[in-house]
Structure 1
Amino acid sequence: MTTSSLSPMVSFTGVSKHFPASGSGAAFTALDGIDYSVAKGSITGIIGRSGAGKSTLIRLVNGLEHASNGKVLVDGVDVGALDEAGLRTLRRSIGMIFQHFNLLSSRTVFDNVALPLEIAGVGKAAIEKRVRPLLDLVGLDDKHARYPSELSGGQKQRIGIARALATEPKLLLSDEATSALDPETTQSILDLLKTINADLGLTVLLITHEMEVVKAVTSDVAVIDRGRIVESGRTFDVFTQPSHETTRALLSGLPGSKLPEALARNLKQSPSAGDRAVVRLTFFGATAERPLVSQLISSVGTEVNIIAGTIDEIGGEPYGSLVVAYAATPETSGRAERFFAENGLVTEVLGYVA
C-alpha cells in the first residue's frame, strides 16, 4: 500500500524476516509479509510496541539485515541484490541517527561530523566547506571545537543529525532518536527534523514507540504489530479514525485520551437502568473551534459530564478529543447520535457506568 501519491523513496514488497534458533533463543519471525511504501519528501513514522519488528524493518533499509523473503527497494535500488561495494554506495545516500548518539568521545564536534567524509576519502578543504554549514544548520557552529562530554543530550543529538547529513543523503533514518531526551529537547529535535525535511527535501523515516513524536512531526504513519503492518495512512487520518485495536491502544496514552482509572475500572459493556453512556468524540477542522459541548447539552436536553479532553494539532490541522457521559436512555442516545451525525463527529461508545 502507498502512503501518498508521491513516488516511493522506500518500498517493501512481500517482506519477511525469519531468525533461526540460536543458543540464546528459539527461532522467530520478526517481519511477516510487509507491503508498504514511504513517499519521497515525506516524514513517515513506523510505530509499535517493543518487539513489534520496528528495528528489524529499518535495518533492512540500509542493508544491516537482509530479508528472508520479498524485496526492499531504496529509490528503485534492490537492497538485497547489492554486493558489499554496492551496499557502501547505498549507505552513503542514507543518513542514520540513533537513540544514544554514537559519537566518538575522543573527537571534537567538528571531527565527529567530518568522520563519514574522511571515510569516503574527501579532502580537508571540502570537509571544511561541508561541515561548518551543517553545524550552523543544527545551531552548534560555536561548539565545533568542543567534545561530546561537554554537550547536553540535545546538543549531542544535533551533532548526530549533522553527521548523518554529511554525505548529502537522500534518506534519513531515525531509530528512537528522541527516546533518551526530555520533552522540551525532544520538541527542539523534532522541529529541526521538520526544517531539514522542508529545506533540504530530505525523506525522513523514523521508528518510535512514542505517539507524541508521530503526532508532532510525521505526515504519514504505519502501525506495526507482531511483524505485520496493521494500519497505515496519513497521520491525521490514522489518529482521528483509528481502525485497529493496536492503534487505539497506543493512542489511549495521549493526553486527553486516557480515562480516570476509577472510571475505567467500572466501565460496563452493556447498560442497566439509570446508567450513563461514556462516549469519545473526535472532531477536527472548523468543528474543533465550535462550542460543541453547549450545543450537545441543548440537543440532548439533559446534563452532559466532561470526563477528559484535549485540543491539539496533527500535521498542522486542528484536532480535538473529548470524552463525555450522558444518560444511557434510548431517547437521549438517539438525540445525541443525530447531533453527532449532523456535525460530522467521529464517535466511539467506550462503555457504561452507574
Structure 2
Amino acid sequence: MGRRAEVVLTAEDRETLERWARRPKSSQALALRCRIVLAAADGENTIDIADRLGCGRGTVSKWRGRFAEHGLDGLHDDPRPGKPRTITDDDVERVIVKTLEETPANATHWSTRSMAAATGMSQSAVSRIWRAFGLKPHLVDEFKLSPDPQFIDKVRDVVGLYLNPPDAAVVLCVDEKTQVQALDRTAPVLPLIPGTPERRTHDYVRNGTTNLYAALDVASGNVIADLTPRHRSEEFRRFLNLIDRTVPDDLDVHIVLDNQSTHKTPSIQRWLIRHPRFHLHFTPTYSSWLNLVERWFAELTNKWLRRGTHRSVRELTASIRTWITSWNDDPKPFVWHKTADEI
C-alpha cells in the first residue's frame, strides 16, 4: 500500500465537482469519481469511501490519486487505443471526387455498390463517406425558372400585398382547381383495423369532373368558393360577381392570380372597368407557388379528395362544399414570411 494521496480542493473545484455529481447529463462513472474526490477532500479514508459508495478500494485510490496529480482533467478517461484507420484521407477524397465529377458507364448515377466496385472499397465505407459529406446520388430535385421579364416587379408586388397589405382593402388569392375528378374504387374500401391499414383497389372508375373556383382571404383565411361544370372566362366573371357580392362595398379588393388566358379576356377587362374597386395582381409565369390559395388547394387535396370516393359529380360537389363550410367555421390563414429580396 502506497502513501494515501492528499486531496485539496479550491472553492471553484468543489463547486464544479458538486455540479458534476448531481448533473443529470453526467455519466454515472464521472459522478462516482466526483463523489470519491469530494469525500477524500472531506478527510474520509479510502476504506470508508469504498464502503459508503459501493466501489472497490483500488477505484478510490486511483481517482483520488488522479485528481491529486492532474486536477479536474484527471477525472476523464484517457483516449483508448483502437484499430488504426484503414481508409485514408486520399481514399475519402477519391470517393468524393468520383461521386461529384464522374458517372458509371452503365447508369446515370452512382450507387454504393457501383462506387464500391469502382474504388475497391466496401459498400459500408462508401455509405459512411456519403453520409458524412451529405452526398445522395440517388436523389434528384426539380426546379422551374420563370422566363417572365417582369419577374422581379411582380414578386415585389405580390409579396408586398402579403407583408404590407393596403388599408381599407381585402387581399384575396384567387385560382381555379380544374378538372376535379369524381373517382370511385372498383371495389368497396376495406376499413382500418388493428395491424392492417385501410385498403383499396389500385384502379378506379371516373364519374365526371367539376371545376373549383376559390378566393382565399389572406388576413382571415376565409374562403369564397364556387363550383362550375365548365372553365371559361364566363365562369370566372361570375365568380368575380360572387366576390363583389361577398366583400363589403366600402373595401377595395386586391386579387392575386395567375396569367391564365381566361383572366384577361375582353369581357373581364370590361367587367373591371365597371368595378373600379377591383385590382388584379398577376404572379410571374410558372410561379404558382406565389399564390397562397395553392396552399389551400393542397389542404383540400390531402385531407379530403385524395382518399375520398365519389359516385357522381353531384356527390363530389356536395362533398367539397361540406369541407369548405367546415374550413370557414374555423379558418386559419397562411402566413407569408419571405421578403421579396430574400426570394
Q: So what's the TM-score if we normalise by structure 1?
A: 0.23
Q: Going by fraction, where is helix more abundant, 1 or 2?
A: 2
Structure number with larger C-alpha Rg: 2
Q: So what's the TM-score if we normalise by structure 2?
A: 0.24
Higher relative contact order (CA 8 A, sep 6+): 1
Q: Going by fraction, where is strand more abundant, 1 or 2?
A: 1
